[in-house]
Amino acid sequence: MSVQAISDPIVSSEADPLILVDENDEAQGVLDKAACHDGDGLLHRAFSVFIFNEHGEVLLQRRAEGKRLWPGYWSNSCCSHPRAGESIEEAAQRRTAQELGLSCVLTPLYAFTYHAWFQDLGAEWEHCHVFVGQLTGPRPRVNRHEISAWRWITPDTLTQELAATPERYTPWLALEWATLQGEHRSALPKALGAA
């Protein structure tokens, strides 16, 4: 669905302080987002959220065109970074509300580190915590500064689209979806009423 919001709050900027971490996710200080993404990037803490509806479909967002890295690419429901002094769970809830206008129980599943480059504009090097949630309430009300479009998609269709047109999707989505469909498949929300 296209986004038609008129005035949304700005909830992120290149000046946001991100938490630098080592390979064990131990905090190593704080640095602004722009510097964390310059060149090859610096390892920092992040999270990704996958929200499912009562039909077992997953919510995807299309990143706003104003994003520095992967603008206009389809990605998972929500992804961002915690602030200094904020738990990863608090950050995931905060950004899900800010970007999607949603509140639901989010369950942490696993964490991993990945490194990906976007043209010559910078890189993501993140220790990323992956959450899943199931929505039974209202539709998303997205923030247009973060999201240009959104849609619900069945897991099978997402798997097929990632195989057929991977260039339309963010690299972390592809990595996370493969893991969710593999070793964490039994932990994914099912359609309500399903056996």
- Distance (Å, whole) CA 145 – CA 64: 6
Quick one: tokens of 42?
A: 């610096």
Q: Which residues of 175-185 are buried (b: 16+ CB within 10 A; e: fewer)?
A: bbbeebeeeee
Q: What is the CA radius of gyration of the chain?
A: 16
What span, in angstroms and rounded, lies between the C-alpha atoms of 159 and 181? 9
Residues with a catalytic annotation lie at 79, 126
The answer to whether the beta carbons of residues 8 and 145 sit under 8 Å apart is yes
* CB burial readout 112-145, b (16+ within 10 A) else e: eeeebebeeebbbbbbbbbbbbbbeeeebebbbb
Q: Name which of 74, 94, 71, 96 is nearest 1 in CA terms.
A: 74
